[in-house]
Amino acid sequence: MIISLVVIAIVGYYTYKWILYPLYISPLCKIPGPPPDHFLLGNFVKIFKEEVGHPQIKWTIDYGGVLCYRSLFNRPRVFITDPKALQHVLSTNVYDYPKPKMAFVSSVVGNGILMAEGEVHRRQRKMMNPIFSYSNVKEMIPSFAKVAHTLKDIWIEKLNNREDIIDIVPYLSQATLDVIGIVGFNYQFNSLTTTNELATAYEMVFHPKNRENLIIRILSNNFPMFEKLPIKSNIQKKEALKIIHNVSENLVRERLEEAKRGELQGTDLLTMLVKINEQAEEKMSFDELKNQIMTFLAAGHETTSVATGWALYYLSKDQESQSLLREELMEEFPDKNFVPTFDQINDLEYLNAVVKETLRIVPPVPIVVRKPKKDDVINGYVIPKGTPVFISPNTVHRLPSIWGQDADDFKPSRWLIDSSFVITAPDTSMGSFSDSNLVDDKPVTNYTWMPFITGTRNCIGGKLALNEMKVLLAVLIRNFRFREIEGFEVKRKMSITLRPDPTIKLWVEEMEN
């Protein structure tokens, strides 16, 4: 009898928690959204099985800019694309909507500026803003070009050996890791030319090789116990993270010792950060500095390499756009071994258009999550404390209501000055895009085009990433023609970034001078 009552109580508790409350009682039920596809799994299966972003785009069209869907065990997910709602969360009340703690993300990027909250974030952001200024980014351009030409020479050698199909993804990842090594720490990783344990470690944590690893990662975000299971993928990830932590600690320790000896010199990000920290009233601890380095390493190379890879992929499918870009580059840079200036690379209209359109179609950070610290109201809907609020540039960037019926098409021309398309109130903190535009009489603002998010917590390294991507593309398109491989399908895979699945392989042909 007692056992039966216990079983009934348990069943009743979870029936209420997983079905009755989320589907019929919660104030979130008043928010429009799709009905659950399964009595217990909510809409999770649809999101997991369909192509990245497609369900959310359809739901936004059907239910509006603030909607609610259900994840595992019918857990509510508020999904916002409405500009007013986005401004409310990302700008007006930014520190009332902290990021949820995600063990995997924190283990890779550390608890630096990317994960810091409240006063800690304000203090770190104030200290770090100067090192990402335009004047400092300008000085990085030759370093970007140096690595880009190293990559170019490696590919030319492959072509000379009759290897004309190249998997571009690992090369771009190694190139951007080398860039962040130079401009971030004045350190030569040389991952393009030698085997590098740090590059291998990031390959493991960023690019799960099979479906099992991906499932474990998703489950770990909801149930941390899965991350502790003694299985192969978890063991490999643990070893990779150990390498990342050790490299970060060593870089900081070396620079602090240089500072003690009065030998601190250079303009790399870490040196400047240590100098600023020495003069700060409230200094960053060793662990805080290490966490910033982990953030630089992870975010500083993964997002740029993925975005550059997608740009080459879409240009391989759009030979007309690729040719227009190459003509612009060859006119500006007759010498194939050119090293551009900051002004040269940012004055190229069609290169700017290609970069903007790539970041629209495949934003580096496809989705972010916030959780309100207290009950709140968004566009008239009550949002209880702790409710996950999902913000997806990947969805916003593909809405026909903003971008037209060709929203899914890669179309750089939509950004040209003589087109009907423009950006209003540009967020110059994200890059050197100062155009002002309009689409079908509907303004495109920082809340409808936000590849690096927007507001107080936008990506602090956005200017660096944009200019690095431009220089990489300029060198590669100036020197090579890229063509897609017939029958080789590339899909978008949700990870920390929108990864190509399985990879991007292209026909590559060297251009004559």
Band (pLDDT 50/70/90 cuts) for residue 222 is: low
Q: Residue 275: is its pLDDT beyond 70? A: yes
| 192-201, 354-363, 391-400, 416-425: least confident range | 416-425
Flag whether 44 is in a domain.
no
| 158-172, 308-322, 413-427: least confident range | 413-427
Instruction: Find out whether 68 and 31 touch, Cβ atoms under 8 Å.
Output: yes
Q: What is the mean pLDDT of residues 428-451?
A: 57
Which of 244-248's residues contact partners 24+ apart within 8 Å by CB, and which partners? 244/108, 244/198, 244/201, 244/202, 244/205, 244/294, 244/297, 244/298, 245/290, 245/294, 247/198, 247/297, 248/110, 248/290, 248/291, 248/293, 248/294, 248/297
In sequence order, what are the beta bridge partners of 505? 167
pLDDT at 350: 98
Percent helix, strand and coil across the chain, each to the nearest 5: 55, 10, 35
Residues 463, 429: Cα–Cα separation, whole Å: 7
Residues 338, 475: Cα–Cα separation, whole Å: 8
Highest mean pLDDT among 88-97, 230-239, 413-422: 88-97
Domains: count for the chain: 1
Residues 44, 102: Cα–Cα separation, whole Å: 19
> What pTM, to 2 d.p., does this model score?
0.90
CA atoms within 13 A on the CB side of 29: 10
Selected residue with higher pLDDT from 464 and 417: 464
pLDDT at 421: 46
Which alpha helices (H) appear in 223-264, and where do they start and end? Answer: 232-260
Residues 258, 367: Cα–Cα separation, whole Å: 39
Q: What is the mean pLDDT of residues 91-99?
A: 96
Tokens of 71: 């994840």
Q: What is the mean pLDDT of residues 331-346?
A: 96
Band (pLDDT 50/70/90 cuts) for residue 114 is: confident
Q: How many CB atoms lie within 10 A of CB 54?
A: 14
pLDDT at 212: 60
Residue % of the chain over a pLDDT of 90? 63
Question: Which residues fall within 8 angstroms of residue 117, CB to CB, at 6 or more apart?
Answer: 95, 98, 99
| 4-8, 124-128, 204-208, 244-248: least confident range | 204-208
| 156-165, 185-194, 390-399, 403-412: least confident range | 185-194
Q: Pick the closest to residue 430 from 403, 457, 393, 396 (CA basis).
A: 457
pLDDT at 17: 87
Flag whether 469 is in a domain.
yes
Q: What are phi and psi of 210, to 5 degrees?
A: -140, 170
pLDDT at 437: 46
pLDDT at 280: 87
Flag whether 468 is in a domain.
yes
Band (pLDDT 50/70/90 cuts) for residue 405 is: very high
Q: Residue 369: is its pLDDT beyond 70? A: yes
Q: What is the mean pLDDT of residues 124-132?
A: 93
Q: How is the beta sheet containing 66-70 ordered, strand by strand?
A: 66-70, 76-80, 389-391, 368-370
Token pair 């060297």 is found at 510
CA atoms within 13 A on the CB side of 183: 28
Tokens of 192: 């393009």
Band (pLDDT 50/70/90 cuts) for residue 148 is: very high
Q: Pick the closest to residue 69 from 21, 27, 25, 37 (CA basis).
A: 37
Flag whether 92 is in a domain.
no
Q: Is the peptide bond before 502 cis (omega within 30 degrees of 0)?
A: yes
Q: What are phi and psi of 433, to 5 degrees?
A: -100, 110
pLDDT at 216: 66
Q: What is the mean pLDDT of residues 306-320?
A: 97
Flag whether 232 is in a domain.
yes
Residues 308, 357: Cα–Cα separation, whole Å: 12
pLDDT at 425: 35
Q: How is the beta sheet containing 505-510 ordered, strand by strand?
A: 165-167, 505-510, 480-484
pLDDT at 81: 97
pLDDT at 435: 36
Residues 350, 340: Cα–Cα separation, whole Å: 16
pLDDT at 208: 60
Pairing outcome for strands 76-80 and 389-391: parallel
Q: Residue 455: is its pLDDT beyond 60? A: yes
Residues 455, 441: Cα–Cα separation, whole Å: 24
Q: How many CB atoms lie within 10 A of CB 1?
A: 5
Q: Residue 361: is its pLDDT beyond 80? A: yes
pLDDT at 28: 97
Highest mean pLDDT among 104-113, 273-282, 286-295, 379-388: 379-388
Which alpha helices (H) appear in 161-231, and where do they start and end? Answer: 168-185, 197-206, 211-222
| 52-66, 205-219, 449-463: least confident range | 205-219
Q: Residue 475: is its pLDDT beyond 80? A: yes
pLDDT at 427: 37
Q: What is the mean pLDDT of residues 64-73?
A: 95
Selected residue with higher pLDDT from 432 and 50: 50
pLDDT at 211: 59
Highest mean pLDDT among 107-111, 147-151, 252-256, 400-404: 147-151
Flag whether 106 is in a domain.
no
Which CATH number goes with the domain that contains 494?
Answer: 1.10.630.10
Domain around 437: 111-346+412-448+451-510
pLDDT at 430: 36
Residue % of the chain over a pLDDT of 70? 91
pLDDT at 269: 93
Q: Residue 341: is its pLDDT beyond 60? A: yes
**Mean pLDDT for the chain?**
88
Instruction: Find out whether 240 and 204 touch, Cβ atoms under 8 Å.
Output: yes
Which residues are annotated as part of the binding site for heme? 459
Q: Residue 207: is its pLDDT beyond 70? A: no
Q: Residue 50: is its pLDDT beyond 90? A: no
Residues 65, 83: Cα–Cα separation, whole Å: 8
**Max CA-CA distance within the chain?**
88
Helix/strand/coil for 332: helix
Which residues are annotated as part of the binding site? 459
